[in-house]
Amino acid sequence: MAANSQFAMAVHILTFLAGSDENLKSDCIAASVNTNPVVIRRVLGQLAQANLVASQTGAAGGTRLAKRPSEISLCEIYKAVSCGDVFSLPPKPANQDCPVGKNIEAVLCHLQKEIDRTIGEKLGQYTLATVLEKIESAAAFA
């Protein structure tokens, strides 16, 4: 099963935007992420809906951060591009005559809520500014 990379890509995009004082075009961002500009535009659309980026069309167009990096939590980014739960239940209900089948969905639903809460809490401890600091620190040692 492949892991979804949209969160990592979104953090990359926003960090790249944070390092620029001007609007950046999707092809420029795509070169940094090493993907197609269409993929970048799709993620930028999600980030725009979450009010994390602002885009402008035209010759001087492009995308920029809508907030300062210190105002953007990783939790906000995660929620902006989240494409589902960490796991999902089978589409077909379990056997209700079985003690496990009868109770497994409730147990797993509770676990799913706990995981979501924990992810949100942990990511909420970091901002885009934190990521920038770590990148600058790593670059200083390279």
Q: Domains of the chain (ranges plus CATH)?
A: 6-84+127-141 (1.10.10.10)
Q: pLDDT at residue 72 above 60?
A: yes
Percent of the chain residues past pLDDT 70, beyond the cut: 96
Q: pLDDT at residue 84 above 90?
A: no
pLDDT in tens, 92-129: 989 999 999 999 999 999 998 899 899 999 999 999 99
pLDDT in tens, 14-31: 999 999 989 999 999 999
CA angle 21, 27, 29 (to 5 degrees): 50
Q: What is the CA radius of gyration of the chain?
A: 19
Give me the helices (H) in 5-142, please: 6-18, 26-33, 37-49, 74-81, 99-123, 128-141
What pLDDT sits at residue 1?
41
Mean of all residue pLDDT scores within the chain: 92
What pLDDT sits at residue 138?
86
Cα separation, 27 vs 76, whole angstroms: 24
- Judged by average pLDDT, the poorest of 6-15, 64-73, 107-116 is 107-116
- Judged by average pLDDT, the poorest of 60-69, 84-93, 116-125 is 84-93
DSSP class of 90: -
- Which residues, 6 or more positions from 79, have their beta carbon under 8 angstroms from its beta carbon? 50, 120
Sign of CA dihedral 102, 105, 2, 40: positive
